[in-house]
Amino acid sequence: MSARIREVPVGWLLALAAPVLLFAFVRIYPPADVSFGSGTSHFYVVTAVAALALVLATAVLVTARKLPAARTLFLAMAFLSMATIFLAHGLGTSPYFGGPGGVHTTVTHNSSYGAQPIGPTTFGNPGDGGTTAFDPGPGETFFARLKVVGYSAQLSLLVSAAFFFLAVIDIPDHISAWISRRQYWIAAGLIAGLGGHVYFALWHPQALAPLPLDNAWVARSAATIATTGLLFAALRFYQAYRLALLPIQGALAIAVVLLAEAQWSMQLGELWHVSWWEYHFLMLGGFLIGVIGLLHNYRITGDLGAIVEGLFLRQQVNGIREGDPRAMIALGAAVAAKDSETSEHIERVGDLSVAVGGKLWLPPDDLLVLRWAGRLHDVGKIGVPNSILRKP
């Protein structure tokens, strides 16, 4: 484990440690944990996070046409679920749905932010001589909406973490193939579910308000589960980066760790204070790094497929190390799909290598090794930018 940690660039470690140190400082030294912001500024930050997540989701969905696989679908849904559920959180706490547009001392929301009180304690009184009309204050729908969109912030991280986890684990081939054949139907169903959450959270929140997701114990348990999934995904992205050296894989490794850190700023921060705002900027920074990595990767390779190629390559290389013949077949098919102009070149080289070995009277075990070596010679193409591989 220590050798693996030493391989992590120092700049990465500093970037990931800085938010943790800042959060610890403002919680230990309360005068530094100043209060600022408003419902409007909160809406703008949340919208920016959702927009960046949507950019990454779109890029992965484009990739799905070239690399149809279960992990591609799950990776796209990780970004899309984050974008849609978190956008519901931002819209529901914005002035557009009755949230605080000015200073944050007006009605606020609680949920996963430490069970802090919501709403004013008094409203207009019809018996008050100074009040010309009775003002009942916010109604049941208003407070139900604040509860639902409040816990939607944590729900977005939990659902996204689940999809990230599914995207990086090694799913059995028959299950992956089943999902790939039905990926559009599955995606449509998942998108409908996400859209349904946004609709009910904003317009019919009473239907979702009974869910106990704002309970402190439930919130902490969900945060622990999400953090575990996100850190596991970050490890897999980093392994893919070390193997393929694709910028987007490194960017996603950093981004996912920042999302894991955001979980605990959300849980332990003081509402409307620096410690609470930090989770918004951690999510914003994480997805911004992801988009920058995507653009940089596209400039280098001219291909969006690199988003998932590194994960695919990691899985198949591990299979080769374990002597799984299916891994080489899968790699050969992937290389053939990437470089269609040489059509099954890897398999032909393997066959020719065996033919030459047969002429030399090599034993069967050596012929098998020769076939594997012949196939391996061209596997590196999968990491070569298309702008170079398909040169005119």
Q: What is the length of the chain? A: 392
Q: How far, in Å, CA of 220 to CA of 85, rounded?
A: 19
Q: What is the pTM of this model?
A: 0.75
- pLDDT value at position 108? 40
143 and 228 belong to one structural domain: yes
- pLDDT value at position 109? 39
- Beta-ladder partners of 273: 35
Total count of domains within the chain = 2
Half-sphere exposure (Cβ direction) of 373: Cα atoms closer than 13 Å:
9
- pLDDT value at position 40? 83
281 and 381 belong to one structural domain: no
270 and 380 belong to one structural domain: no
Q: How far is CA 158 from CA 20, 27, 260, 387, in A?
A: 20, 24, 10, 38
108 and 146 belong to one structural domain: yes
Q: How is residue 235 written in tokens?
A: 């490890």
- pLDDT value at position 179? 92
Does residue 77 belong to any structural domain of this protein? yes
Q: How far, in Å, CA of 209 to CA of 200, rounded?
A: 10
Long-range contacts for 351-359 (Cβ within 8 Å, ≥24 apart)? none
**How crowded is residue 287: how many other Cβ atoms within 10 Å of its Cβ?**
26
Q: Spell out the per-residue pLDDT of the chain, length 392, in tens.
A: 443 444 667 888 898 999 999 999 999 999 999 998 887 888 889 989 999 998 888 888 777 666 667 888 898 899 999 999 998 988 887 777 765 544 443 334 344 333 333 333 333 344 444 444 444 446 788 888 888 888 899 999 999 999 999 998 888 878 988 998 898 899 999 999 999 999 999 999 999 988 888 888 999 999 999 999 999 999 988 887 877 667 788 888 999 999 999 999 999 999 889 999 999 999 999 999 988 888 887 777 666 666 666 665 555 555 555 555 555 555 565 565 555 565 566 677 778 888 888 888 888 777 777 776 766 666 656 555 555 555 55
3-state SS, residue 362: coil
Does residue 71 belong to any structural domain of this protein? yes
- pLDDT value at position 77? 92
Which of 360, 353, 358, 355 lies closest to 378, judged by CA? 353
63 and 167 belong to one structural domain: yes
Does residue 130 belong to any structural domain of this protein? no
Its domain, for residue 23, covers 2-122+138-303
User: Which residue carries 């949340």 as its tokens?
Assistant: 46
Which of 272, 231, 226 lies closest to 81, judged by CA? 226
User: Which residue carries 């959060």 as its tokens?
Assistant: 23
Q: How far, in Å, CA of 339 to CA of 213, rounded?
A: 49
Q: How is residue 219 written in tokens?
A: 């919130």
Q: How far, in Å, CA of 226 to CA of 154, rounded?
A: 9
Does residue 192 belong to any structural domain of this protein? yes
Are the beta carbons of 36 and 277 closer than 8 angstroms? yes
Last residue of a domain, one of 271, 303, 335: 303
Does residue 129 belong to any structural domain of this protein? no
35 and 104 belong to one structural domain: yes
Last residue of a domain, one of 303, 331, 353: 303
3-state SS, residue 38: strand
182 and 242 belong to one structural domain: yes
Q: Fill in the amino acid letter for 223.
A: A
Number of helices (H), then strands (E), belonging to the chain: the values are: 15, 0
Contacts of residue 317, Cβ cutoff 8 Å, sequence gap at least 6: 243, 327
DSSP for residue 195: H
Exposure string over 291-313, b if 16+ CB within 10 A, otherwise e: bebbeebbeebebbbbbbbbbbb
- pLDDT value at position 6? 41
252 and 193 belong to one structural domain: yes
Q: How far, in Å, CA of 392 to CA of 381, rounded?
A: 17
Q: How is residue 65 written in tokens?
A: 């046409």
Nearest-10 Cα torsion for 83, 12, 381, 370: -120
Q: Fill in the amino acid letter for 111.
A: S
41 and 105 belong to one structural domain: yes
Q: Fill in the amino acid letter for 258.
A: L
Does residue 328 belong to any structural domain of this protein? yes
Does residue 308 belong to any structural domain of this protein? no
Q: How far, in Å, CA of 165 to CA of 78, rounded?
A: 9
207 and 331 belong to one structural domain: no
- The phi-psi region of residue 114 (left if phi > 0; otherwise alpha if psi is between -120 and 50; otherwise beta) is left
- Round the CA-based radius of gyration of the chain to a whole number and report it: 26
205 and 142 belong to one structural domain: yes
99 and 246 belong to one structural domain: yes
Q: How far, in Å, CA of 147 to CA of 112, rounded?
A: 9
3-state SS, residue 273: strand
DSSP for residue 270: P
Does residue 131 belong to any structural domain of this protein? no
- pLDDT value at position 253? 92
Are the beta carbons of 51 and 116 closer than 8 angstroms? no
